[in-house]
Amino acid sequence: MNEAAAAEPQAEPSPAFLQAVSELAMDQPVTTSQPIYNAQGIKLLEGGVKVDRGLYDRLVSHRLSRPLDECVDAEPSVDAKVMREAALAAMAQWPFFARMAPIGRTREIVLEAIAAVPLPKPIALHLTLAHDRRPALFAHSILMALLCAHLAREGGAALHDVAEAATAGLLHDMGMMHIDSGLLDADERLSGERLNPVYVHPLTSSMLVGRFTEYPKQVVRAIVEHHERLDGSGYPRGLVGDAISPLGRMLSLAEVVTAMFDGEREQPEQRVSLLLRISPRRYDAALVPSIHRLLRAAPPPDAEAGAPAEQSIARLLRLADELGRWRETAESIGPQLDGAHAALLLSMNEQNATLQRMLYEAGVTRDQLGALGDDVGEDAAVRVELWALAEELLWQLHAAANQLKRRWQATEPALPHPRALAAWFDGVASLDAHDPT
């Protein structure tokens, strides 16, 4: 699938976005700000009329002459006051973010940066839809704005640049409103083609934001880059090192940190600490110390925190086995491949080595895991560390396997997965189902 075509916001409106607008209209007034025409010039809706739940059925099969978000208004919409209140609520909920912006002038600088984000009506509509229909997405965007503003301020940026950082953080995930929420909320882990909309959402977000002159080019570029990693393991373009802009690096770091505070994840600060220690090559070394300073002030984990140590050890042993099985898989299929597919295999070998290094740098080997005594369960810090390491390594292994599967499918000439590779994919997918958690 062509990434630009998949991300194009001016093609026929995504069913997910149409559905969200229709549902919002059931809760508050939504009206057409101008007539809505299809690409052939046929009027589908008059301007100035109230939108109802039938909007979806009337528009879903049409390509529109203008993006839908430019043709409808919602009142009330998210504004500076709503964002300030959401930021204060986030700091009240998460001590990590409260420490980042303590009460006083520091907090006001961060809050003012968020309140200063320009909100053209189509952008305000997206935020209003997220606030009303996808509250977890809106909360994540607020956390991103907070953390990006903090990182910029700590780096000595001028107030204008702090506001730009907050803008990029707040708007980075607007493309997620164009993905079916049922897909994102599914209980099973996504893989293969089902991940395509997720992989292109940075492009969608940048196109949505890039229409407006209120947003500088560096903000639009950083939004494209918010899932890139310095070691090339990110997406959508697999950029490496200096190919990622400074603001893009900031968003990349903020994205992985704030993701730990999404939903009901346990021990988010311990997980952030572990992630940054075992993946030092993926994130900007000039920015990471700012996160570590906040983490050092965290209280120790609760005595009952984390899974039982023996369960985490069993998971880590299985994960280590799967990493070892990749080496056997690569050796068996390598002689059959050449060109682009051989390059993909080499890339996966490098990612596998990175995951092996994560275990080594965390001080965990198979021998060490086997030698841990029964009394390790009495040490809450060690127990949480083992649990967090198993959680992070499982996520990283799934991400690496999904990336290989996606790139394999997109590489010419089209080749089926070799039997050994398909079996390895199945083994990685089974880890969730069989892990004793």
383 or 170, higher pLDDT: 170
Q: Is the peptide bond before 135 cis (omega within 30 degrees of 0)?
A: no
How many other β-carbons are positioned within 10 Å of the β-carbon of residue 266?
15
Query: Which pLDDT tens digit goes with each residue over 49-103?
Result: 999 888 888 898 899 999 999 999 999 999 999 999 999 999 999 999 999 988 8
Range of the domain at 7: 3-74
Spatial distance between the Cα atoms of 19 and 160, rounded to a whole number of angstroms = 36
Does residue 171 share a domain with residue 91? yes
Decide if 304 is inside a domain: no
The pLDDT of residue 276 is above 90: no
Lookup: tokens for 327: 């080496």
Same domain, 269 and 343: no
* Whether 123 and 246 share a structural domain: yes
pLDDT per residue as tens digits for the range 251-268: 999 999 999 998 777 788
The stretches of 235-300 forming alpha helices (DSSP H) are 246-259, 268-278, 288-296
Supply the pLDDT for residue 174. Answer: 96
More reliable by pLDDT, 230 or 312: 230
Structure tokens at 234: 């990110």
> What CATH number should be reported for the domain holding residue 392?
1.20.120
Q: What is the pLDDT of residues 148-192, one digit of tens each?
A: 999 999 999 999 999 999 999 999 999 999 998 777 665 455 556
Cβ neighbours for 182, distance < 8 A, ≥ 6 positions apart: none
**CATH classification of the domain holding 253:** 1.10.3210.10
Question: What is the overall mean pLDDT for the chain?
Answer: 86
43 sits in which H/E element? strand 43-45
Residue 60 shares a structural domain with residue 167: no
Q: Which residues pair with 203 in a beta bridge?
A: none
User: How far apart are alpha carbons 82 and 75 in whole angstroms?
Assistant: 13
What percent of the chain is predicted at pLDDT more than 70? 87
User: Domain check: are 196 and 255 in the same one?
Assistant: yes
What is the rounded distance in angstroms from the CA atom of residue 152 to the CA atom of residue 162? 5
Q: Is the pLDDT at 246 greater than 90, yes or no? A: yes
pLDDT at 377 over 80: no
State whether 390 and 427 are in the same domain.
Answer: yes
Helix (H) or strand (E) holding 324: helix 309-333
Residue where a domain stops, chosen among 296, 322, 340: 296
- Domain total in the chain: 3
| Residue 63 domain flag | yes
Cα 96 from Cα 419, distance rounded (Å): 46
Same domain? 61 vs 86: no
**Are 224 and 265 part of one and the same domain?**
yes
Q: Say which residue, 160 or 378, is predicted with more confidence.
A: 160
DSSP H or E segment with residue 36: strand 36-37
